Structure 1
């Protein structure tokens, strides 16, 4: 665990799930730059006594620091409605929200010191200060700014932050188009701030998200069906090559069974499992709330409103009942924010083995060079190649 130094003291912060081998911190120079600006802004510190919203706070560093600052604000300066005094964190990440809860606790703050909202929740009616940690996905930023724009006013203080590699001309154009006139700060330690002045004259147009597209004609039972993608979800415009190979390779199964689409994204793999076996119970799991909304919209559009399925925001299979799944389908990510690692895949594979019944199967698609077959053989004692092409491979491991 590392300590972040702020104007109001040091904070103990960690990512979630906490891994002592992970060299990446729960904050970076962009978070520090924004917090310094709030205290040292020319003309005086930013007034945080109104409705404060933090968008895209990755591991809760900003929310924890702001909650700490507000906790020591003299009572005479607090708003009449105490609920306005708690920052609202809006996040697409279940893991990010779990990190926020843990970071609040380890720094001696109550669990309700921050109001945790997902990107699918209704924003607060009024926003006086909007702080934006620029996400990797420009589409997600576009969607969220559209959702928040009706709730800001001409006096709203809007400050964004990100590393210089994360802030592009398109980022600034988006702020300007959706909210109002925008400018940037000088770079400090490879981080930059964005300043935006909301104005009533902005004609932002309609929110273009979610979007839909039709699946190709060569992917089995889901051929030609409609996929719904909310902003920020992988493969927003077309089916990716890895998922295409997996869909072509899925086993023909019958009978009552519990299928898990692990890291479901827009849900096309779990949909295929449900449509190919009408007796299957399918659980869609992802840590992204946008992904789960996409998976449910895709499922309902094609399987019907009454079809049975569960959509769960979770840390993979960490809380899944052990020995209850018959089939786990998985296209694991190999990066998290700026870190590229196989740690997430490894945790998914371990979680899958625990979740499967004896004789249950894990089907994985991944890039050839990632060498997932080595991990699966070590973990399951077996692994076979079901399908492959020059770039991807579909693997099957059985719990003996």
Structure 2
């Protein structure tokens, strides 16, 4: 991780948390090596609030520290093996919004959830559709996920029942971390995306599909999503992704003026999904219909303000091939075609004890690709309701 210099929050044997950057298999404690008071906090929020110019200055200072052999003795006391530190949620999440930006994913789910109707709702290609999630249930990678309980109703059941979800799923997503806030009543332009967004994290939007399908009409996702959302432990700055930028694909019909992405914030990012150590899918972000700059512009189109620590996600990243989808409901055709794992067991949806790991890579400015970290979670049994 020497090219991306991602930021995270860690602790060693002591209780106090420190802000650091990952360098290979080590983390550099920034508290004593960079002259910036915001980095002596226990979360990234104060640093995120400083804005783009200061982000760039600090990144340049860290790059020089790490690259110059003359600094090795100076920084050596502040380097810790990643294997010996505990990682924490890197920033306090202010608000969480999840979009639905993959045409392929939206089409696949539309066919499953609304058979006999057009798979895409009539507004889908006119605006980035999203919903507000629950910031308080965003957790760092490695946090165990308790199987959620709620109302579910199968098509062959006459009435709903209450119990643990039978259709626990994943959603492979890329999420964007807001640094610079905005005033209430201000609309953010697509051209100002990089002035407000500090960086990206990998995100798994755990989904209880049976709870979701019963509750989502007419107001959309609620308890089927809000029980847990996992993010990677490291925030990769946008500055590290310049080589990953791509023109966005053709959009038909042409978006309204405020949604024109003049900066081309398509991204060449490849994901890999492992279930119990076995690769089951490799989604690609480059095929997403709506760009993150368009998502941010629409998120604030009504004058809603941004706050430092806001998190907004892309929605499930899915491609046209069966091995490019970002959810089990797509991979298994809503459970009708379970996948077979190396041990001979099959999965339609997640079972207790399953471990899901999502990793991603992006192009390096020097050639090749570098890792963006990973987000992992283990499924625990549901907690019985108290009577």
Q: TM-score, normalised by structure 1?
A: 0.23
| Structure possessing the higher relative contact order (Cα contacts under 8 Å, 6 or more residues apart) | 2
The structure that has the greater radius of gyration is: 1
